[in-house]
C-alpha cells in the first residue's frame, strides 16, 4: 500500500514524548497517525484544525481584529515595556530553547516568570529534594521497563492521562531482565475510585479520600514488622499485607504518583511518607519515586530556571528583586502587583481558579499560542505560533529527565506563525 510521505516523530503532547509515532502526510497535512494514543493523535491533528490561530490579533474597541505581525509584535513590546512588573507564564509545551529565551526576556523586563510546574508536579520534585536533601534522581522509563517487577500507580490514572505509560514503557514491554514482560511484574493501583487504569492489574486498593498518608504509614509499619489494624482508610489489613509482601519481594519497584497525592491538605507529609517508604531499610530491592508529570516540557522550564537563576523545582523567578528571588504564578497574581502578562503555551482561563482568572482579567494580556482558546479570546494582543515538534524543532525533557530532540517535519501554516523562540527573540531585541 502506498502511503506517501511518512515521518517518524516524537509526539509533543505529553511528557512521555513517545518516539515511535508515525505521521502520514499528504498535501502538507497530517492525514493519519500511527501509535499515538487518542490524545496524541488529537493533538497532532490540531495542526490542520479550523481553530488554528494563523493571524495575529489586536484588541481594538473591545474586539479582536486581525493585524500584521509586526504591528502585533510592536503592541506586545509596548505593553511589556510599559509594565512595571510583567508576568510571563505558561512554558509547559514550548521547547527548552524558547524557555531559555523566555527567562532572558523576563530578566530584561525585570518581571516574573513561572511555568505550570508551580501548580503541578514541580512541587513534588521540590519536596523530594527538600526532604531527602539530595538531588532528585529517578530511573529512566526504559530502565523501569527492563527491570521493574513492581510498578505502582498511586493517585494517578495513566489510562486517562498518559495512556501509553504501561504499554510503551513500564509494564507490558519485554525487558532485558523481565524478559516475559507483564508476567514477571506486579502492578498495583492505589486510588480513591476504581479508574480505568485499575483493570487487568494485580492489586487495586481503593483508599478513602485524604487517607493516603494512613496507608503509607501502615505500609511502613508492616515493613518494620509491626502489627496492623484491621482497616486503614477503607483498605483491609489483608490487602495491605499483600501490597507489603509485594514490596518486600520486589527487586526493582517504582511508584508513579499523580496529583492525587499532591492535591491534598497534607501533601507534604504524603511525599515525606513515600520517601520513607521507598527508602525503608527492610526493602531489599531498589525502589524509586516518579511523579506523573503532565505537560510535555514542564521539566524543561524547571531545569532552565535552575540553571539560569538557581531556583528550585516548582518555582518561577522574580527578576524585579535584586538578586532575583523564587516565586510562583499564584503568589505573583495574588499579590496583585503584576500589571501585564505574557501567556505562552498555556490556557490559564480554562485551568486557573476563578480568583486568579479575575486577576488576569484586569491586566493587559499578550498571548502566544497555536490555537484559538479561552485565553486568546481575552487577549489584548495574540501572536500565532508554530507547534513545537511539528513545525518547529526543539528540545524537550521527558518525565524521567531524559532529553528528547523534536524535529520539524511540516512547514508553518502561515508566514505569520513563527516559532516560539523567534517570537520571544524578536520581543527581546525590540525591548
Chain contacts with another protein (rule: CB under 8 A): 1, 3, 6, 8, 20-22, 24, 32-42, 145, 159-160, 163-164, 166-169, 172-174, 181-182, 196-197, 199-200
In the complex with another protein, the residue whose CB is nearer, 82 or 174, is 174
**Strand (E) or helix (H) holding 249:** helix 237-249
In the complex with another protein, the residue whose CB is nearer, 35 or 81, is 35
Q: To the nearest whole angstrom, how small is the minimum distance from the Cβ of residue 162 to another protein? A: 9
Cell numbers of 117, please?
Answer: 510546574
Closest C-alpha to 231, from 210, 251, 265, 207: 207
SS3 content of the chain, % helix, strand, coil (to 5): 40, 25, 40
- State the Cα–Cα distance between residues 342 and 75, nearest whole angstrom: 12
Q: To the nearest whole angstrom, how small is the minimum distance from the Cβ of residue 40 to another protein? A: 7
Q: To the nearest whole angstrom, how small is the minimum distance from the Cβ of residue 182 to another protein? A: 6
- State the Cα–Cα distance between residues 385 and 370, nearest whole angstrom: 5
Report yes or no: 136 and 351 within 8 Å, Cβ to Cβ: no
Q: Which residue has the cell 526504559?
A: 142
In the complex with another protein, the residue whose CB is nearer, 22 or 267, is 22
In the complex with another protein, the residue whose CB is nearer, 109 or 159, is 159
Q: Please, where are the H alpha helices in 28-68? A: 38-45
Q: Residues 6 or more apart from 112 whose CB is under 8 A from it?
A: 85, 86, 87, 88, 106, 316, 317, 318, 319, 320, 327, 329, 332, 338
In the complex with another protein, the residue whose CB is nearer, 33 or 302, is 33
Q: To the nearest whole angstrom, how small is the minimum distance from the Cβ of residue 26 to another protein? A: 13
Q: Phi then psi for 260, rounded to 5 degrees?
A: -60, -35
In the complex with another protein, the residue whose CB is nearer, 89 or 154, is 154
Q: To the nearest whole angstrom, how small is the minimum distance from the Cβ of residue 142 to another protein? A: 8
Burial 372-403 (b: 16+ CB within 10 A, else e): bbebbebbbbbbbbbbbbbbbbbbbbbbbbee
Q: To the nearest whole angstrom, how small is the minimum distance from the Cβ of residue 5 to another protein? A: 11
Q: To the nearest whole angstrom, how small is the minimum distance from the Cβ of residue 374 to another protein? A: 24
Q: To the nearest whole angstrom, how small is the minimum distance from the Cβ of residue 25 to another protein? A: 11
In the complex with another protein, the residue whose CB is nearer, 400 or 420, is 400
In the complex with another protein, the residue whose CB is nearer, 39 or 280, is 39
Amino acid at each position: 500500500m502506498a502511503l506517501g510521505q511518512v515521518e517518524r516523530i516524537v509526539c509533543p503532547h505529553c511528557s512521555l514524548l513517545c518516539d515511535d509515532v508515525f505521521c502520514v502526510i499528504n498535501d502538507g497535512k497530517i492525514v493519519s497517525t500511527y501509535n499515538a494514543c487518542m490524545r496524541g493523535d488529537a493533538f497532532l491533528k490540531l495542526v490542520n484544525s479550523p481553530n488554528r490561530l494563523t493571524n495575529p490579533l489586536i484588541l481594538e474597541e473591545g474586539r479582536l481584529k486581525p493585524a500584521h505581525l509586526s504591528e502585533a509584535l510592536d503592541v506586545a513590546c509596548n505593553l511589556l515595556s510599559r509594565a512595571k512588573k510583567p508576568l510571563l507564564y505558561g512554558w509547559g509545551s514550548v521547547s527548552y530553547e524558547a524557555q531559555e529565551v523566555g527567562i532572558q526576556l523576563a530578566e530584561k523586563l525585570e518581571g516574573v516568570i513561572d511555568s505550570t510546574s508551580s501548580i503541578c508536579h514541580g512541587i513534588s520534585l521540590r519536596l523530594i529534594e527538600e526532604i531527602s536533601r539530595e538531588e532528585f534522581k529517578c530511573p529512566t522509563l526504559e530502565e523501569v521497563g527492563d527491570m521493574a517487577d513492581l510498578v505502582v500507580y498511586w493517585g494517578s490514572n495513566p489510562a486517562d492521562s498518559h495512556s501509553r505509560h504501561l504499554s510503551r514503557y513500564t509494564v507490558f514491554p519485554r525487558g532485558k531482565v523481565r524478559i516475559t514482560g507483564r508476567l514477571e511484574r506486579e502492578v498495583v493501583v492505589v486510588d480513591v475510585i476504581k479508574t480505568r487504569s485499575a483493570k487487568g492489574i494485580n492489586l487495586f486498593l481503593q483508599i478513602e479520600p485524604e487517607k493516603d498518608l494512613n496507608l503509607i504509614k501502615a505500609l511502613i509499619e508492616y515493613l518494620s514488622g509491626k502489627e496492623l489494624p484491621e482497616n486503614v482508610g477503607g483498605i483491609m489489613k489483608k490487602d495491605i499485607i499483600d501490597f507489603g509482601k509485594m514490596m518486600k519481594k520486589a527487586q526493582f519497584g517504582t511508584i508513579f504518583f499523580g496529583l492525587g497525592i499532591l492535591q491534598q491538605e497534607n501533601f507534604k507529609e504524603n511525599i515525606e511518607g513515600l520517601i520513607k517508604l521507598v527508602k525503608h531499610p527492610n526493602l531489599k530491592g531498589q525502589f524509586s519515586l516518579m511523579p506523573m508529570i503532565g505537560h510535555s516540557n514542564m521539566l524543561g522550564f524547571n531545569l532552565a530556571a535552575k540553571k539560569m537563576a538557581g531556583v528550585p523545582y516548582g518555582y518561577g523567578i522574580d527578576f524585579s528583586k535584586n538578586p532575583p528571588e523564587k516565586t510562583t504564578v499564584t503568589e505573583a497574581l495574588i499579590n496583585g502587583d503584576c500589571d501585564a502578562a505574557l501567556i505562552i503555551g498555556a490556557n490559564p482561563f480554562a485551568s486557573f481558579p476563578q480568583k486568579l482568572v479575575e486577576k488576569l482579567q484586569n491586566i493587559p494580556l499578550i498571548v502566544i499560542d497555536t490555537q484559538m482558546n479561552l485565553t486568546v479570546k481575552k487577549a489584548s494582543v495574540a501572536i500565532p505560533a508554530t507547534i513545537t515538534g511539528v513545525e518547529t524543532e526543539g528540545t524537550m525533557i521527558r518525565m524521567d529527565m531524559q532529553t528528547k530532540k523534536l524535529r520539524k517535519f511540516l512547514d508553518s501554516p502561515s508566514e505569520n506563525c513563527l516559532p516560539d523562540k523567534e517570537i520571544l527573540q524578536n520581543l527581546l531585541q525590540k525591548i
